[in-house]
Amino acid sequence: YQTGHDSGAYCGIGIHGQWLYVNPRDEVVIAKMSSQPEPVDDRLDVELVAFFEALSRMV
């Protein structure tokens, strides 16, 4: 999944909340391991991308 942001960030998304976020511009990689009750939560996915982008800007 491409985020479409200037950072060139992209994600690998699994079911039940598994994530791999890569931001090449800021040299940030985030792995999120979880076991959410629902296999897919589109609303949460949008929030997580924003959260990962914010974390990338902080480092």
Mean pLDDT of 14-43: 94
What is the per-residue burial (b if ≥16 Cβ within 10 Å, else e) of 28-54? bebeeeeeeeeeeeeeeeeebbeebbe
The pTM score is 0.84
Helix, strand, or coil (residue 11)? strand
pLDDT, residue 1, reads: 66
Which of the four pLDDT bands, split at 50, 70 and 90, describes residue 5?
Answer: low
pLDDT, residue 7, reads: 78
pLDDT, residue 10, reads: 93
Q: What is the pLDDT of residues 7-21, one digit of tens each?
A: 789 999 999 999 999
